[in-house]
Structure 1
Amino acid sequence: MGAWSRLKEAFTREANISSPEDLLAQARGMRNGKVPVTKDTALRNSAVWACLRLRADLMSSFPIDVYRYVNGIQIEVPKPPVLVSPGGTEVGMREWMYSTEFDLDRGGNCFGVITERSGVIGPDGRGLPGRIELVELGAVAIRGNGSTITKFIINGAEYDPWEVWHEKQYTVAGVPLGLSPVAYAAWVIEETLSAQQFARDWFAGGAVPLAELKNNAKVVNAKDARVARDQFRAAVDDSGLFVHGMDWEYKPIQAVASQSAFIEARQYGASEIARFFGCPGDLIDVAVSGSSITYASMTQRNLQFLIMNLGPAVGRREDAFSRRLVSGPRFVKFNTDALLRMDPEARARTIGARITNRTLAPSEARALDNLPPFTEDQLSEFDRLFGSRSVPAQPTTAVPGATP
């Protein structure tokens, strides 16, 4: 029976279900051998850590805005408190977003207990969440029936689904939990963790001998070998000097070939891990062989990363927030322009072109730099410099929330 069949079978009857990572490990009929790979041990691999950190850093840096349509125009409205400090005074939005994205990317799910509700009634007839206390992935189990979660069990306590904040990604039909990239990448991660363990054993002398002490005159039996080894070790430990005749030869073991194989295995594992976690290798300093793709600017590189890798996750989270954290016709948008920042020269050219093509007013362009519209005195300076009014008259107030 395949992994999916086992996963779906687990949800066909009401039962306590652990994480998808454990279910998939059971479906494979193994526990990852000598170096077990879990959501926590996987973080020992630098490529895993770099991928998770990059995606969580960027997701937490996007400003979050709330809008509604008025006469077909998108108007920004005040954010509810849960989108300002979702974890109360101790946990702000950026930390909350970082933690939840980190869990989503490594475990396919994130969980929190809704401890406060606002007075605004949501689509389920209850108050919208006002505070969400995040919980560690390993502390959560679920009770399911078919494709429906009937109970969440968090640190031994049972919660109804409406009491728990649950986001998921990497989903398949019929399974109410998101897939764990760590579980599916376990084979590759295990290889690199095992390579790390072997390297530690090698250089500590636990995997293979560090040196060879050979008798060139006769065959040495086991008893004599132990005596010679102990004498040699005692001499080196006490004075660092070993005196012998023409029969013994000491030769350190060279591990150049094994070290090269170890490095190659680590590099191969890093590129595979980058694919599993949705991060191009060059963004986490993994050498990409045979690639000839070049970019005219860093903005183009970031744009591709946003479209191909991070954008879908942004859209899913916008949908989840719009359904469960704001009411009525309001909806949530992440401002991803922070990822697409241009250098000053390119930005000035873009804004100038938009003003020339009349898609952006000069006052709006000034507002982008947190500057008020030109005053009449400032406009007169242009008249003196250029002989005529080069900057058109503007409104006296800036347009809030304008973006290029």
Structure 2
Amino acid sequence: MASFTERIRNVFSPQERHASITTAADLIPPRNGSSRKGRVLVNNDSALQHSAVWACLRLRADLISTMPVDVYRRVNDQQIEVPKPPVLINPGGDNCDLQEWLYSTQVDLDRAGNAFGLITERNGRGLPSRIELLPLQSVVVVYRDNKLSYRVGSETFEPADIWHEKQYTVAGLPYGLSPIQYAAHSIGEYLSIQDYATDWFNGNAIPAAVLKHTKSTVPDDKAEEAKAAFKAKVSAGELFVHGNDWEYTPIQAVDSQTQWLAAKQYGLTDIARFFGCPSDLIDAAVSGSSVTYASISQRNLQFLIMNLGPAIIRRENKLTKLTPSPQYVKLNSDALLRLDPKTRAEMNEIKLRSRQLAPSEVREQDNLPAFTESQLAEFDRLYGLPKQGGPDDSKAGTNND
């Protein structure tokens, strides 16, 4: 078997090499000539039958795709927000807005390490203005004679015509590695356990059994007849009636065989590690292990820093290429931290006192209009006029009369 280094070198040999993004076969040789793990074929679609895979992909894509996307440029060392170009509003046309586009590409990035789109329109600056997303299975990355190209169906495209985002990269490869491919054994184990449980309880939850004739030895041909008659009755959910010459003994699972229950439970946390999602966030925490956080915001902050932060930065850098220089794109990750009302109120109070925010801006965050004159007059009547020291004065709000 070729070593990892040799397989890397083979990918870039002078001969043409096709690298299927969905399998990364050049890096992971199939075991025993098959891509099956046990009885289960693991690929980008079948892996979604694993609840932990689905939960991790959904959580990461949900959060990143719903973060507000803002475009800025620096003027006199100040960050000024500028209008977003159309490609950052409806990147896939009228039928695909930015949230759907970001969600779809994030799912592909997290499960396969790559996301592809065909650039179908450009603006006057030559930048993409419309990017039609491509299914992973339809794209093949081709590297030949030190030249990169993409094959979509029967057509070949130059890199300038394809939008290609990637993550989980290694040096020397023109595409990202697929977590599903490397997690195939863990995913296959879990799916095989599901098949095992389904087979065990197949036929109205009747387990395998031994049907024994206690009066005499049954010839093979008669045994087959008895077996067929028994299966015909039982598989249809009917009762099997017999006298005292037949003995029916269900095969009970011994303790060592029931370990598949524990394997199924721990398989969830194993997958969570592959897909960069803490197991407690997908309801897959192992019994007996717990971490206590002071607040929801503290938990979300750790998730943002340790898991989502690098992915967000990579996406910002790639989306920035859709805007003219010196503009740049930022995903507003503060939206992830707005889930704890108490912490948010305390932070707003600090920003009000330090004059980082105006009251109208705080109310806008809560989807409330600015104070009216009658509301301001009511505050003055109830709490008195504020001191001239400003909002950061500890005695602000007391009556000066």
Bin of the TM-score, shorter chain as denominator length: 0.7 to 0.9
Task: State how far apart, in whole Å, the 2-side matches of 1:344 and 1:203 are.
Answer: 47
In the alignment, does 2:294 pair up with 1:306? Answer: no
Alignment match of 1:32 (pick from 23, 30, 35): 35
Conserved 8 A contact 1:14-1:145 = yes
- 1:299 deviates by 1.2
CA offsets 1:33-67 (integer angstroms, 9 cap, x no match): 33221111111111111111111111111110000
Secondary structure at the counterpart of residue 51 of structure 1: helix
- 1:185 deviates by 0.5
Counting aligned pairs with the same residue, the percent is: 52
Alignment match of 2:46 (pick from 41, 49, 68): 41
Conserved 8 A contact 1:2-1:27 = no
Give the match for residue 140 of structure 2: 141
Alignment match of 1:326 (pick from 298, 323, 326): 323
In the alignment, does 2:351 pair up with 1:354? Answer: yes
Alignment match of 2:366 (pick from 362, 366, 369): 369
- 1:288 deviates by 2.2
The structure where helix makes up a greater share of residues is 1
CA offsets 1:349-401 (integer angstroms, 9 cap, x no match): 2211222233333343334334454454433222211232369999xxxxxxx
CA offsets 1:324-373 (integer angstroms, 9 cap, x no match): 20111100000111111143333222211222233333343334334454
Unaligned runs of 5+ in 1: 121-126, 395-404
Secondary structure at the counterpart of residue 97 of structure 1: helix
- 1:202 deviates by 2.4
Give the match for residue 401 of structure 1: none
Task: State how far apart, in whole Å, the 2-side matches of 1:234 and 1:129 are.
Answer: 63
- 1:170 deviates by 0.4
Secondary structure at the counterpart of residue 18 of structure 1: strand
Aligned positions of 1:245-256 closer than 5 A: 245=244, 247-255=245-253
Aligned positions of 1:83-162 closer than 5 A: 83-120=88-125, 127-145=126-144, 150-162=148-160
Task: State how far apart, in whole Å, the 2-side matches of 1:261 and 1:197 are.
Answer: 15
**Further displaced range: 50-59 or 30-39:** 30-39
Alignment match of 1:282 (pick from 272, 280, 283): 280
**Further displaced range: 178-187 or 284-293:** 284-293
CA offsets 1:136-189 (integer angstroms, 9 cap, x no match): 01100122147x652111111111110010000000111110010011101111
In the alignment, does 2:4 pair up with 1:3? Answer: yes
**Further displaced range: 41-50 or 219-228:** 219-228
Secondary structure at the counterpart of residue 38 of structure 1: coil
**Further displaced range: 365-374 or 150-159:** 365-374
**How many residues in Structure 1 have an aligned counterpart in Structure 2?**
383
Task: State how far apart, in whole Å, the 2-side matches of 1:329 and 1:336 are.
Answer: 22
Aligned residue identity for 2:105:
T
- The 3 A distance-change label for structure 1 pair 359 and 20 is same
- 1:253 deviates by 2.6
Task: State how far apart, in whole Å, the 1-side matches of 2:109 and 2:290 are.
Answer: 32
Aligned residue identity for 2:54:
W
Aligned residue identity for 1:200:
T
CA offsets 1:238-297 (integer angstroms, 9 cap, x no match): 97351313x321122333647732221211221111100001111111132442311111
Root-mean-square deviation (Å): 2.6
Secondary structure at the counterpart of residue 210 of structure 2: strand
Aligned residue identity for 1:128:
L
Alignment match of 1:379 (pick from 364, 376, 383): 376
Task: State how far apart, in whole Å, the 2-side matches of 1:281 and 1:184 are.
Answer: 19
Aligned residue identity for 1:226:
E
Give the match for residue 62 of structure 2: 57
Give the match for residue 222 of structure 2: 224
Task: State how far apart, in whole Å, the 2-side matches of 1:240 and 1:369 are.
Answer: 64
Alignment match of 2:74 (pick from 69, 75, 81): 69
In the alignment, does 2:162 pair up with 1:164? Answer: yes
Secondary structure at the counterpart of residue 295 of structure 1: coil
- The 3 A distance-change label for structure 1 pair 374 and 212 is same
- The 3 A distance-change label for structure 1 pair 332 and 8 is farther
Secondary structure at the counterpart of residue 204 of structure 1: coil
Aligned residue identity for 1:2:
S
Conserved 8 A contact 1:112-1:134 = yes
Aligned residue identity for 1:136:
P
- The 3 A distance-change label for structure 1 pair 12 and 188 is same
Task: State how far apart, in whole Å, the 2-side matches of 1:81 and 1:391 are.
Answer: 47
- 1:216 deviates by 2.9
**Further displaced range: 27-36 or 265-274:** 27-36
- 1:18 deviates by 2.8
**Further displaced range: 340-349 or 369-378:** 369-378
**Further displaced range: 72-81 or 281-290:** 281-290
- The 3 A distance-change label for structure 1 pair 384 and 114 is same
Conserved 8 A contact 1:149-1:176 = no
Unaligned runs of 5+ in 2: 392-401
Conserved 8 A contact 2:69-2:331 = yes
Task: State how far apart, in whole Å, the 2-side matches of 1:319 and 1:93 are.
Answer: 16
- The 3 A distance-change label for structure 1 pair 249 and 132 is same
Task: State how far apart, in whole Å, the 2-side matches of 1:378 and 1:231 are.
Answer: 85
TM-score (structure 2 length as normaliser)? 0.87
